[in-house]
Amino acid sequence: MSTAAQSSQPLGNMRFRVAIAGTQGAGAVEVIFPEARLAARGTAASKRPVRYGTLILRKGLTQSREWYEWWYAARRPAPAGRKRSGRDITVTLMDAQGRDACRWLFSDAHPQAYQLSSLNALGNEPVLETLELSVGDFRML
C-alpha cells in the first residue's frame, strides 16, 4: 500500500501508550479524551478562550499505588504560598504496524476523581482503576 493510501486509512483505537510525568508506567486500557470548547467571545470566560472537559484514564489495578497516591495528595491543601503543580500526560496512538501515528500532550493535569470498579465473587473481570483529571491545555504534537 502506498504512503498516501496509508495516511488516508482510519487509525484503530486499540493500540496506544500513556505516559504520565512522575510515574513509572501508566499502562492504561482506556482513554476518554476531554471535550475542548471555545468560550463565547465577549464574556468573562473569554480570558481563557478554551474550556476543557475531563480526561479519563482507566487501567487494571495492580499493587502499584501511584495513581491513588497522586489523587490522595491532590486532596490535601497545597503548602502555604505554593501552587500545586500539575503533571504532563502524553497519549500516543500507534498504527497497525506499531509505529507512532498521533500524539497528544495534556499539560497541567490534576486529579479530580478516583474510582475502582466493583468486586464480584461470581465474576472474572479485572478490577479497573479510574482517574479523572482536569487539564490546563492539550495539543496534538
Q: The domain spanning residue 20 has which CATH number? A: 2.30.110.20
38/21 Cα distance (integer angstroms): 27
Residue 75 lies in a domain: yes
pTM of the model: 0.86
**94 pLDDT higher than 80:** yes
Residue 1 lies in a domain: no
Higher pLDDT, 89 or 43: 89
**13 pLDDT higher than 90:** yes
Query: What average pLDDT does the chain have?
Result: 89
115/61 Cα distance (integer angstroms): 11
Residue 5 lies in a domain: no
**45 pLDDT higher than 60:** no
67/85 Cα distance (integer angstroms): 16
Residue 2 lies in a domain: no
Residue 128 lies in a domain: yes
Residue 4 lies in a domain: no
List pLDDT tens digits, range 77-93: 877 777 778 999 999 99
Domain that holds residue 48: 12-140
Q: Where residue 69 falls among pLDDT bands split at 50, 70, 90?
A: very high
Q: Where residue 26 falls among pLDDT bands split at 50, 70, 90?
A: low
Residue 7 lies in a domain: no
**How far lies 22's CA from each of 26, 45, 52, 66, 75, in Å?**
10, 31, 23, 9, 18
Number of domains making up the chain: 1
